[in-house]
Structure 1
């Protein structure tokens, strides 16, 4: 193969399942040019990827552009349909897997894993062309006719396990609200001891009371924010005060902290050990912040007088849990639980909340 009429990549050769594959460093500027994006060009029987979720692209693009000094992208995996040749830099047995990978110019490339990264790179280059000289690792598999592309995609994703949202928050050092949430947990002894920072739901035998994502989602509701939004110093201050007052006000939490009640007993007998409760308080707190800026703490302290027991069916059945006794956390049940809490601390319901209450009593929700 004439190197003048080929793509040439410095590469490392490896072997899996007795077949060679290659890892190369590709400049970002060539990623949109060589990798097939419009899969209309590929026969349906050889298409391997999911349909591109275009809604993901702006967020991924912003991630690259806004973090040009510390973004991280994992490798793209691609199949090559066409002539290739690997030329070692030398024949020494200790280094003959280092060399140059030559790929014919008329070869076809099909991404098996990384189509959204490829699309985000293309958009990022339009905004910041200077990124073009940076590189991303690409794992190449030789696949004549692209016959194995679907199996490669299936195998790559067979054992993939998505991280929980709690771990995502725990490891996020960019999102401002995630950082504040973790600081709040670290500085309040009750939360620090009884928050599970990895799981999104707690088993009946968990030694914890809340999950990190419950607290984060509650903070979003308290501020009326979306993930990634900036927060002001005043909002930061409110969140910290809110959690201090709340932890002082939930009697059952403090009974767990004082070893008078186990987390298991808490979850079995009270709704305050579940995400539906804490996130409903996010809605209550948001209302208080908007309409009771100077006396909101007095309403939170009233929570200590409420009967949170599951046996209190008049208040919580159909809201925090269903007729089978199973806790249910949906946008409707969170709002319905919030409505009841507001009524119990003598707060008026908004027009939309009253409408939901009417539907609730009519059995519509």
Structure 2
């Protein structure tokens, strides 16, 4: 699905599980698989139904514009500069988005409300995410399950 979905064109590294500093990609495929599994409440190894694929396609497509995944290419920024400046390319944020989508589907039967993402400050220096996915002391990204849940709560 990541190969076919326009929002992920040239953004996904299909070979590595971690994005290197000089990489031209924003996401490793593993993170997208994990986040999609969270979104759909399935195991990463499960085969998705056509309906599940459609939910995932619609969800990730709706996330792309407000999270600036393709826009940065027009700013003369490298992928590394985007990753350093914005939360939306980090694994903890994508996994939190998966949880948000899961909650939206559970509560409303759709992920339509994800379009409100444009109101979030997704810059790396955003105070809104300090203590959630950004360590209060070091400023480093947090990647544990608590950080994912706290970030999802803030997004919701």
| TM-score exceeds 0.5 | yes
1:34 maps to which residue?
none
Alignment of 1:78-97 (within 5 A): none
2:10 maps to which residue?
193
Alignment of 1:282-301 (within 5 A): 282-294=98-110, 296-297=111-112, 299-301=113-115
Aligned to 2:2, the other structure's residue is in SS state: helix
The counterpart of 2:120, out of the listed 300, 306, 313, is 306
Deviation at 1:241, TM superposition (A): 1.2
2:32 maps to which residue?
215
1:264 aligns with 2:80: yes
Deviation at 1:260, TM superposition (A): 4.1
Deviation at 1:249, TM superposition (A): 2.7
User: How far apart, CA to CA, are the structure 1 residues paired with 2:87 and 2:55?
Assistant: 25
The ranges of structure 1 where at least 4 consecutive aligned residues each deviate by more than 6 angstroms after the TM superposition are: none
1:316 maps to which residue?
129
Q: State whether residues 7 and 61 of structure 2, in contact with CA within 8 Å, keep that contact through their aligned partners in structure 1.
A: no
Deviation at 1:220, TM superposition (A): 0.6
Greater Rg, structure 1 or structure 2?
Answer: 1
Q: State whether residues 204 and 268 of structure 1, in contact with CA within 8 Å, keep that contact through their aligned partners in structure 2.
A: no
1:337 maps to which residue?
151
Q: State whether residues 249 and 300 of structure 1, in contact with CA within 8 Å, keep that contact through their aligned partners in structure 2.
A: no
Root-mean-square deviation (CA, aligned residues, Å) is 1.7
User: How far apart, CA to CA, are the structure 1 residues paired with 2:8 and 2:60?
Assistant: 9
User: How far apart, CA to CA, are the structure 1 residues paired with 2:125 and 2:46?
Assistant: 39
Deviation at 1:206, TM superposition (A): 1.7
Q: How many residues align?
A: 155
TM-score, structure 1 length as denominator?
0.40
Q: Which has the higher contact order (CA 8 A, sep 6+)?
A: 2
Closer, same or farther: CA 257–280 of 1 in aligned 2, 3 Å: same
Greater strand share, structure number: 1
2:41 maps to which residue?
224
1:280 aligns with 2:96: yes
